[in-house]
């Protein structure tokens, strides 16, 4: 049983600094979702551009997270962590002062780069500062605070949106980043990999470029379709670069990523689980938030209060899950979390179809139990899969798997959602514009935000007969709900099928007499 009182003053300070950084960094990625409708109105962004307010921060994280772990092993984990926090603070200040949408997107990219540099090293510095027997407990505490504030922070932003400005949410990150930098400089001890550890520049370039192109292709598919050259060219190029990365790493004497442990289910299973849960959590946060505000007209504040239900179980479960992981139950916890997540997505689908916000409260409450079952257990298993000298890369593996799931998964989910929404809406509006007078692609994109962009809504509706005005709004509403139902059902089915497959591949359902021991994760579970 680990408690904060059992740690030395320096260990406590190191834990406070790294956990605070994790809360700040992770919450910045998704907390902006609650303010998207207000940002859209302030800057006049269309639906596709608005989506990039989230993706712009995820893209550098997906591309750079693994590289930052090696940078920490080479240059020093504390040094790279501090660099990331400074970068994040600068990006936050730029977001707060952004005069328009393009500057905001660029500033979000700077924020994302800071997160990419700092997040893996926050975990690496946390585990380096504590004895090994406390790693699972510490990761559980970190996950509890990160998950709780991942919902509490959007609630605070909802208050700012309702009574002030969304810009203060970004401005508040600046002094908090400075506080973390000062504390970390005083209390974190520098650590790095063995002498002579190199960067593996070819591998770093290939994986960063390959992942970036794949994510961009998935994002473009929502507007262009997967068959479009604008989608296929970056997708194929990215896939080729990732294939070259595998070849280079297998031949390298000191690879950026040792691919051999990935062959073991003890490593690949928790990484896959992290990707699935992160994709689902982010997708639900984005689209359920928009559903509550656009379809149910709850507003930012009531939406934030309703989403708080998903954080209740996290605070209680995460430290407990960390302790159970230390005792060898990590694999069973992962399977349980995936099963809960899949069933809960089906429950959410039912609630969305009935268009009743109160019905979603118990579903969101149970939904919040899944991530704390998976995140600490999967992260601890990955961290145990490599020697301590490569702790930075191991931390990057856990972060990388989550962010690949977030960036690629959200891009694919956006493509599915957009396709279902456009098909349903265009069927409903087949005759709304008059015979032979279909909506143009630009007008179709305007319809994506017809409930929130008043000026363009009136311009578009002005060309329709008066009786069609109400029909257009109802069609946009109905199409959004249908698309959300399709997306949630698809995610739920994927999670449940994946849980079964991962259980079979990883041996998670085997009823061995003793619990899974704390053996290194490079061993295949038996």
Average pLDDT over residues 216-240: 80
- The token pair that represents 367 in the structure block: 């939904």
Check residue 388 and give its pLDDT.
Answer: 56
- The answer, as to whether pTM is greater than 0.95, is no
- Among left, alpha and beta (phi > 0; psi -120 to 50; other), residue 439 is beta
Q: Looking at residue 327, what DSSP letter applies?
A: T
Burial class (CB in 10 A: 0-12, 13-18, 19+), 522: middle
Check residue 108 and give its pLDDT.
Answer: 93
Exposure letters 136-149 (e unless 16+ CB within 10 A, then b) = bbbbbbbbbbbbbb
Which of 58 and 21 is assigned the larger pLDDT?
Answer: 21
* Contact residues for 385 (Cβ-Cβ < 8 A; gap 6+): 261, 264, 266, 267, 394, 397, 520, 521, 522
Which of 196 and 138 is assigned the larger pLDDT?
Answer: 138
Q: Which residue has the tokens 């307010």?
A: 53
Q: Which residue has the tokens 């300070």?
A: 13
For residue range 117-127, list pLDDT tens digits in order.
Answer: 888 788 778 87
Which of 89 and 201 is assigned the larger pLDDT?
Answer: 89
pLDDT of residue 183 exceeding 70: yes
For residue range 156-174, list pLDDT tens digits in order.
Answer: 888 888 788 889 989 999 9
pLDDT of residue 521 exceeding 70: no
% residues pLDDT > 90 (the chain): 12
Q: How far apart are CA 184 and CA 16, in angstroms?
A: 9
Average pLDDT over residues 226-231: 78
- By the 8 A CB rule, do 295 and 355 touch? yes
Check residue 518 and give its pLDDT.
Answer: 39
- The token pair that represents 487 in the structure block: 């997306």
Tally of CA atoms within 13 A in the half-sphere of 84 that contains its CB: 32
Check residue 36 and give its pLDDT.
Answer: 81
For residue range 233-277, list pLDDT tens digits in order.
Answer: 988 999 999 899 989 888 887 777 777 767 777 677 888 888 888
For residue range 71-97, list pLDDT tens digits in order.
Answer: 888 888 889 999 999 999 999 999 999
Which of 372 and 455 is assigned the larger pLDDT?
Answer: 372
Q: How far apart are CA 51 and CA 39, in angstroms?
A: 11
CA nearest to 120, candidates 404, 397, 409, 405: 397
What band does 33 get if pLDDT is binned at 50, 70 and 90?
confident
Mean pLDDT, the chain, whole residue set = 77
Total Cβ atoms within 10 A of residue 361: 17
Could you give the C-alpha distances from 468 to 211, 240, 309, in angstroms and in order? Answer: 44, 49, 38
For residue range 434-449, list pLDDT tens digits in order.
Answer: 544 455 555 555 555 5
Q: Which of 40-49, 334-343, 458-467 has the lowest mean pLDDT?
A: 458-467
Check residue 407 and give its pLDDT.
Answer: 73
Q: Looking at residue 298, what DSSP letter applies?
A: -
For residue range 279-312, list pLDDT tens digits in order.
Answer: 888 788 778 877 887 788 777 777 777 777 776 6
What band does 406 get if pLDDT is binned at 50, 70 and 90?
confident
- The token pair that represents 323 in the structure block: 């302790």
Exposure letters 19-29 (e unless 16+ CB within 10 A, then b) = bbbbbbbbbbb
């Amino acid at each position: 049983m680990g408690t904060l009182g059992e740690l030395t003053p320096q260990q406590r300070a190191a834990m406070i600094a790294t956990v605070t950084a994790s809360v700040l960094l992770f919450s910045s990625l998704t907390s902006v979702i609650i303010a998207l409708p207000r940002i859209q109105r302030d800057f006049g962004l269309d639906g596709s551009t608005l989506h990039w307010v989230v993706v712009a921060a995820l893209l550098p994280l997906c591309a750079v997270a693994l590289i930052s772990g090696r940078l920490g092993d080479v240059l020093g984990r504390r040094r790279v962590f501090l660099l990331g926090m400074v970068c994040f603070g600068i990006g936050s200040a730029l977001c707060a002062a952004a005069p328009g949408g393009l500057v905001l997107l660029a500033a979000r990219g700077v924020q994302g780069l800071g997160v990419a540099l700092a997040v893996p090293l926050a975990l690496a510095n946390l585990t380096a500062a504590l004895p090994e027997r406390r790693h699972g407990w510490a990761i559980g505490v970190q996950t509890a605070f990160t998950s709780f504030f991942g919902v509490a922070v959007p609630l605070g932003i909802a208050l700012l949106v309702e009574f002030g400005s969304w810009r203060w949410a970004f401005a508040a990150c600046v002094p908090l980043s400075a506080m973390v930098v000062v504390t970390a400089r005083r209390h974190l001890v520098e650590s790095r990999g063995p002498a002579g550890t190199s960067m593996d520049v070819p591998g770093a370039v290939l994986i960063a470029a390959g992942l970036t192109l794949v994510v961009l292709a998935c994002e473009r598919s929502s507007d262009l379709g997967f068959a479009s050259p604008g989608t296929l060219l970056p997708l194929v190029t990215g896939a080729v670069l990732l294939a070259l990365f595998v070849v280079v790493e297998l031949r390298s004497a000191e690879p950026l990523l040792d691919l051999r442990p990935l062959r073991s289910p003890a490593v690949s299973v928790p990484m896959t689980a992290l990707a699935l849960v992160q994709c689902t959590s982010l997708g639900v946060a984005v689209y359920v938030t928009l559903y509550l505000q656009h379809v149910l007209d709850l507003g930012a504040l009531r939406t934030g209060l309703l989403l708080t239900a998903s954080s209740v179980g996290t605070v209680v479960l995460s430290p407990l899950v960390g302790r159970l992981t230390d005792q060898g139950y990590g694999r069973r916890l992962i399977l349980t979390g995936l099963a809960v997540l899949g069933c809960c997505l089906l429950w959410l689908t039912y609630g969305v179809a009935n268009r009743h916000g109160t019905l979603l409260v118990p579903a969101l409450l149970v939904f919040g139990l899944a991530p704390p079952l998976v995140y600490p257990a999967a992260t601890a298993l990955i961290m145990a899969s490599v020697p301590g000298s490569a702790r930075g890369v191991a931390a990057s593996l856990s972060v990388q798997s989550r962010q690949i799931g977030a960036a690629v998964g959200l891009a694919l989910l956006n493509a599915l959602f957009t396709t279902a929404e456009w098909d349903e809406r265009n069927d409903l509006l087949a005759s709304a514009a008059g015979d032979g007078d279909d909506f143009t692609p630009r007008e179709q994109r305007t319809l994506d935000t017809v409930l929130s962009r008043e000026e363009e809504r009136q311009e578009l509706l002005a060309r329709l007969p008066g009786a069609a005005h109400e029909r257009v709004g109802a069609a946009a509403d109905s199409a959004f709900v249908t698309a959300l139902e399709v997306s949630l059902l698809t995610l739920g089915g994927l999670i449940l099928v994946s849980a079964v497959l991962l259980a079979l591949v990883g041996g998670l359902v085997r009823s061995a007499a003793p619990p899974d021991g704390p053996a290194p994760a490079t061993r295949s579970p038996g």
